[in-house]
């Protein structure tokens, strides 16, 4: 039995036969300060006709993100004093973040990443949690983002069935869940396990919708899915049905128009990526294999890929990645040096000892590489050593065979 009834527009959006919504959909007009593009952005505008927007999903994303405007949908929640207070306060917080943090990251991207990653290649982001924010900034040309985390997918908030101000706890927890990512640039696993498993705020989808909306995107569709043993996608009629199923892999596939009107997709899979679990998860491993070559982003990855118990994911990355953009918590340098492929390293920031929680993950080889090769300055903090003068950032590119 469902936890609650959901609006017809959202239920239809879960069905694969309803990717295109009915007509009369219009793109959201947002303040340019809330878009991912800065004034210095040099991205070429796409001439592709934007896909039809799903009004129910898009308005839900606006409500979650604090950008909702009074209209035909969700007036019951949006006009309440609790929501109005949340929207006002979070908008101020985001505007400050956008005008400082996002603009700095965008400037770095334009200088160091944009030309290098201009192809529409898939971006694979293991151990991501719901952080679509950073890969969307660093890899804006990617047509598809595949993200993996332990956090559950979640279900739609029951906005249409509630009375004004009944979501006080939801918006409070939503606001709290963003503390680490906005301040430190990463989600804390322990906090996410608590924040995204409580009441209406029950999974990663809530933050995915928030970030997509706040970075100027418009939602086209959202589908609940899993992967069969052959790596094929199986879609579910609702996220409640998916949540109740006993599966090794549960996911959400979101299609959206970006700020330039270009159709993109985001796939988030909730699963355990340790060797013991992933060796039994044939569907996911086969699905990743058929993706071919992709780019990889790793940040705040708890140094899991340093361990022998995460060798399957590490070997998948080494085998299929054309490039790896990471901090020191990603693939340890020793595995790259011993890989059958050869790699080129471009270093930024400075390498220092990991924080106390991960003190035993210090890499003498990486320390030596930084000292020997040198590194470009990094104007922002990232990862566990998030302080501006204490962060490292690497662009690691696989050399073509015979080159």
Q: How many domains does the chain have?
A: 1
Asked whether residue 307 is domain-assigned, the answer is no
Asked whether residue 234 is domain-assigned, the answer is yes
State the Cα–Cα distance between residues 303 and 56, nearest whole angstrom: 39
**225 in helix, strand or coil?**
strand
Among residues 235, 233, 226, 230, the alpha carbon closest in space to that of 282 is found at 230
**31 in helix, strand or coil?**
coil
Asked whether residue 350 is domain-assigned, the answer is no
Full domain range(s) for residue 63: 8-292
Sequence-ordered list of residues with C-beta below 8 angstroms from that of 226, at least 6 positions apart, any chain: 233, 234, 236, 242, 245, 247, 249, 250, 251, 283
Asked whether residue 261 is domain-assigned, the answer is yes
Residue 71, pLDDT score: 84
Asked whether residue 75 is domain-assigned, the answer is yes
Return phi, psi of residue 161, to 5°.
-105, 5
Residues in a beta bridge with 270: 149, 250
State the Cα–Cα distance between residues 19 and 36, nearest whole angstrom: 25
Among residues 45, 49, 90, 37, the alpha carbon closest in space to that of 67 is found at 90
**173 in helix, strand or coil?**
helix
Residue 240, pLDDT score: 96
Residue 39, pLDDT score: 38
Give the pair of three-digit tokens for residue 363: 């890499």
State the Cα–Cα distance between residues 20 and 24, nearest whole angstrom: 12
Asked whether residue 181 is domain-assigned, the answer is yes
Residue 382, pLDDT score: 84
Asked whether residue 304 is domain-assigned, the answer is no
State the Cα–Cα distance between residues 333 and 20, nearest whole angstrom: 45
Asked whether residue 388 is domain-assigned, the answer is no
Per-residue pLDDT of the chain in tens (403 residues, 90 and over written 9) = 333 333 434 444 454 433 333 333 333 333 333 344 433 344 444 455 889 999 999 999 999 999 999 887 999 899 889 999 999 999 988 888 887 888 999 999 999 999 999 999 999 999 999 999 999 999 999 999 999 999 999 999 988 776 667 788 888 888 887 875 566 544 444 444 555 556 678 999 999 999 999 999 999 999 999 999 999 999 999 999 999 999 999 999 999 999 999 999 999 999 999 999 999 999 999 999 999 999 999 998 999 999 999 999 999 999 999 999 999 999 999 999 999 999 999 999 999 999 899 999 999 999 999 999 999 999 888 878 776 667 999 999 999 875 5
Residue 97, pLDDT score: 82
């Amino acid at each position: 039995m469902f936890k609650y009834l959901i609006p017809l527009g959202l239920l239809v959006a879960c069905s694969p036969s309803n990717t295109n919504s009915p007509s009369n959909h219009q793109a959201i007009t947002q303040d340019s300060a809330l878009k991912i593009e800065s004034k210095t952005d040099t991205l070429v505008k796409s001439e592709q006709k934007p896909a039809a927007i799903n009004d129910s999903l898009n308005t839900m994303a606006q409500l979650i993100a604090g950008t909702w405007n009074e209209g035909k949908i969700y007036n019951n929640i949006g006009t309440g004093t609790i929501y109005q207070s949340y929207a006002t306060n979070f908008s101020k917080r985001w505007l400050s973040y956008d005008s400082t943090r996002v603009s700095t990251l965008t400037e770095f991207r334009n200088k160091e990443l944009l030309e290098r990653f201009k192809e529409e290649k898939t971006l694979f982001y293991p151990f991501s949690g719901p952080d679509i924010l950073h890969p969307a900034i660093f890899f804006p040309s990617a047509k598809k983002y595949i993200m993996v985390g332990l956090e559950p997918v979640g279900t739609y908030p029951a906005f249409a069935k509630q009375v004004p101000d009944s979501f006080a706890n939801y918006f409070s927890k939503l606001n709290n869940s963003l503390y680490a990512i906005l301040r430190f640039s990463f989600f804390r696993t322990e906090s996410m396990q608590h924040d995204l498993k409580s009441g209406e705020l029950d999974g990663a989808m809530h933050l995915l919708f928030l970030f997509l909306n706040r970075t100027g995107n418009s939602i086209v569709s959202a589908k609940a899915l899993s992967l069969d043993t052959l790596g094929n996608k199986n879609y579910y009629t609702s996220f409640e049905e998916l949540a109740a199923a006993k599966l090794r892999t549960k996911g959400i596939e979101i299609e959206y128009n970006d700020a330039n009107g270009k159709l993109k997709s985001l796939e988030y899979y909730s699963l355990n990526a340790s060797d013991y679990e992933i060796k039994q998860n044939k569907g996911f491993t086969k699905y990743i294999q058929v993706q071919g070559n992709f780019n990889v982003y790793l940040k705040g990855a708890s140094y899991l890929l340093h361990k022998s118990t995460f060798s399957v994911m590490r070997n998948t990355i080494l085998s299929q990645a054309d490039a790896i953009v990471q901090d020191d918590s990603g693939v340890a340098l020793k595995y790259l040096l011993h890989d059958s492929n050869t790699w080129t390293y471009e270093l930024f920031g400075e390498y220092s000892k990991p924080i106390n929680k991960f003190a035993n993950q210090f890499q003498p080889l990486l320390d030596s590489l930084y000292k020997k090769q040198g590194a470009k300055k990094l104007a922002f903090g990232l990862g566990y050593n998030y302080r501006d003068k204490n962060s490292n950032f690497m662009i690691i590119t696989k050399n073509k065979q015979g080159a």
